[in-house]
Structure formats: structure tokens, C-alpha cells
């Protein structure tokens, strides 16, 4: 039986960034084609002889000028054969967590601009990129219950309140702060530093750091973390 298959494979990346108590996603503005000037997720077609992982790292470097340490495969999108008006394209999506302060964005190749977009104000995007973002956001929320979150999103030294705000922002709901603090500290992957943060006229806040080895062990083995809400 003759096979005239002409399906293309693409990769798309949802890069989450956390800054000033808000969650952001990385978007690039297309330079060419039918979606010229529109904002989309960074990504593109996989080249011949290229692995999926290599392709998504290449696209992030070319379109946004960034290199991330870790990308997690999210989902494969292809049920809608018209998701791309140019061809039938199956997209393998990935997501990453980063601190925007650690990156200097730079658009190149087929991207004319790049920016951090507050996820609460995400515009309607071409393809099925809003669905991809929604799927990634749901995965991120779920991860809070079985994997520690924060190592790649927060500075090396941070007040405990920043970790609380991070969880509250992602979950979009106020948490029981006393219960949260007790449980997080019981996992022993954050430690008090010998520094305090002076802000305003209030009492200086104790700064914490992540214990990298214990954090990575919990990240690998998983945890069961029941989050109580206020």
C-alpha cells in the first residue's frame, strides 16, 4: 500500500517565568508568513536528523536568545489536523520554569520580537497555542502536590513569603500560610541563610536558600504535599 504521508513534526515551548509576584510566559512575535506580527509560543519544525530535545533548545536559542537548563515534555498536539493552515503539523510541546532576571531576551531568525507576557493577560494566539499554555498551566498546578517548585523561579536567597506568594500565584488561591510553612520546612530542602532582607520600616525578613542536593532528591523521587487553603 502506497503511503503518501506528508505530516510535519514541530516543537513548541511554554517557558514560565516568575517575577514580582506574577507568573509570565515567553512569547515571540513572528516575522514572516501568514501569522506575521502575531505573538506565539517559541517553537518550529524539527529538522532532518534532529532530536525533539535538540530542536526545542535550538528554537529557544534562535528565537528568544535563551538557554534553559531543564525542559519537560508536556503533551503532543495533533488531533486538530487544521491547527496549522500551512500543513498538517503535529506539535510536541515542552515546558520550563525560569527566573526572568537570569535571562536577556534577544529575538532572531523568524522572530522579530520577544517578551514576557503576564499569563493572566494572555491574548488569543494563533494555532492552538492557548490550549498548549492552558495544558502546561494545569500541569504546573498539579506538580505543586508531588514535586517541589521554586528552585528555578526564585532568587538564590529569598524571604519565605516569596515562596508563599509563588504558590498562591500559581494556584490562584490563598493558602493556609501557617500550615504551608510547617510542611515546607519539614521537607528540609530550604535552609535559613545568615542574611536578612531589610525592606521599608518593618522588621528585617529572614532569607532562605535551597539545599540543592535535598531539593533535587525530592524533585526526582517526588513528594506528597497536601496544600490547605485559607
Mean pLDDT of the chain: 92
Half-sphere exposure of 219 (CA within 13 A, CB side): 15
Q: Which residue has the cell 510541546?
A: 93
Q: What is the pLDDT of residue 110?
A: 85
| Whether 23 and 98 share a structural domain | yes
Q: What is the pLDDT of residue 44?
A: 95
Q: Residue 158's Cα: distance from chain center in Å?
A: 20
Q: How far apart are CA 107 and CA 104, in angstroms?
A: 10
Domain total in the chain: 2
| Whether 18 and 84 share a structural domain | yes
- Output the CA–CA distances (angstroms, integers) from residue 82 to 7, 87, 190, in the order listed: 12, 8, 47
Res. 202: pLDDT tops 80? no
Model confidence at 222, pLDDT cuts 50, 70, 90, reads confident
Res. 190: pLDDT tops 80? yes
pLDDT tens, residue by residue, 119-150: 999 999 999 999 999 999 999 999 999 888 88
Could you tell me if residue 96 is inside a domain? yes
- The pTM of this model reads 0.92
Q: How far apart are CA 31 and CA 71, in angstroms?
A: 25
| Whether 204 and 164 share a structural domain | yes
Could you tell me if residue 151 is inside a domain? no
The pLDDT of 172-178, averaged and rounded, is 95
Give Cβ neighbours of residue 103 (< 8 Å, ≥ 6 apart).
65, 66
| Whether 91 and 165 share a structural domain | no
**Of 94, 22, 89, 82, which Cα lies nearest the Cα of 58?**
94
Looking at per-residue pLDDT, the higher value among 195 and 202 belongs to: 195
Give Cβ neighbours of residue 179 (< 8 Å, ≥ 6 apart).
228
| Domain housing 200 | 158-221
Looking at per-residue pLDDT, the higher value among 6 and 25 belongs to: 25
Amino acid at each position: 500500500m502506497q503511503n503518501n504521508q506528508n505530516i510535519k513534526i514541530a516543537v513548541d515551548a511554554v517557558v514560565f517565568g516568575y517575577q514580582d509576584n506574577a507568573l509570565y510566559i515567553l512569547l515571540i512575535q513572528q516575522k514572516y508568513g501568514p501569522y506575521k506580527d502575531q505573538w506565539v509560543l517559541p517553537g518550529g519544525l524539527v529538522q532532518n536528523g534532529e532530536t525533539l530535545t535538540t530542536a526545542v533548545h535550538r528554537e529557544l536559542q534562535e528565537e528568544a536568545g535563551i538557554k534553559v537548563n531543564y525542559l519537560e515534555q508536556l503533551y503532543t498536539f495533533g488531533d486538530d489536523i487544521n491547527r496549522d493552515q500551512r500543513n498538517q503539523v503535529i506539535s510536541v510541546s515542552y515546558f520550563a520554569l525560569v527566573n526572568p532576571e537570569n535571562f536577556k531576551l534577544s529575538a532572531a531568525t523568524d522572530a522579530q520580537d520577544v517578551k514576557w507576557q503576564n499569563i493572566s493577560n494572555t491574548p488569543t494566539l494563533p494555532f492552538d497555542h492557548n490550549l498548549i499554555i492552558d495544558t502546561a498551566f494545569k500541569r504546573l498546578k498539579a506538580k505543586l502536590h508531588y514535586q517541589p517548585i521554586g528552585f528555578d523561579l526564585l532568587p538564590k536567597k529569598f524571604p519565605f513569603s516569596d515562596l508563599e506568594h509563588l504558590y498562591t500565584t500559581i494556584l490562584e488561591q490563598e493558602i493556609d500560610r501557617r500550615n504551608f510553612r510547617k510542611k515546607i520546612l519539614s521537607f528540609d530542602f530550604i535552609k535559613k541563610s545568615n542574611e536578612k532582607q531589610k525592606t521599608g520600616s518593618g522588621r528585617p525578613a529572614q532569607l532562605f536558600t535551597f539545599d540543592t542536593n535535598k531539593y533535587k532528591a525530592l524533585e526526582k523521587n517526588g513528594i506528597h504535599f497536601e496544600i490547605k487553603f485559607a
